[in-house]
Amino acid sequence: MKDIKSLIQKEETYLNNLLESTDLSNFKGMVDELRDTWTKKQIFRTETEARFSVLQDNNHPTMAAKYWQCIKEQSCFLENLMTLSFDYRRNEAEIKMLEKKIKKEKDEYKLECYQIDLDEKKYGKASMELVAKDRMREISMWSKLKKEFDDGSFDNQDHNQHQLKSYHEVYKHKVDTLTPGSSQAEVFNAVGQLHTIERVQKSGELENNTEKKEQIIQYGKHKF
């Protein structure tokens, strides 16, 4: 990532054929500014965006709902960071192969193509490092938010436990905000899911299923 200025400056030579002289001159005068822009550009979400958009109260009305959404977001970013790590390793290997080819190649046209590929791989490396840094920033952000929302009022091991309460609040709000202009599908979906949630709450069927599951587990433990 620290080499981005040199990568930009190196490409100036080849921009002669791409840009008009005035544009090229402007580009050269903006190298430091462009490096600064490239380095501090926003890639992923800020904490502000996480709080008001991802964790917005209508979709995640309880502390538990917000906590478990943080789990989803952090897990997704971990998966993407691991994939990026594999891509980075592969890119590093390809850089080494290209450097080896360049040392041995005698054909000037093949040599030029290898050099272009190498420059592109090095720019890709710098981009991946920038992305990895911001992915890690967001992973850390979700860690902070998880700690904030985990207030001890809910089960933080089983996401199913909070959902009936959380979804009841979500669909109650959806029904409350229906208007005469709402479509039949919107009304059918919102009212239907709210009534179903309330029926499940009243029947206690989820609690019964949990009890049966625990009985089966206990039975299995004592069977032998």
Alpha-carbon distance of 44 to 130, in angstroms, equals 11
pLDDT of residue 92: 98
pLDDT tens, position by position, 79-96: 999 999 999 999 999 999
What does the domain layout of the chain look like in residue ranges? 42-149, 160-222
Half-sphere exposure in the Cβ direction for 75 (13 Å, CA): 6
Tokens 């599908």 locate to 185
pLDDT tens, position by position, 201-217: 999 998 876 555 555 45
Find, among 2, 77, 10, the residue nearest to 38 by Cα.
2
152 torsion bin: left (phi>0), alpha (psi -120 to 50), beta (else):
left
Alpha-carbon distance of 129 to 88, in angstroms, equals 8
Res. 157: pLDDT tops 80: yes
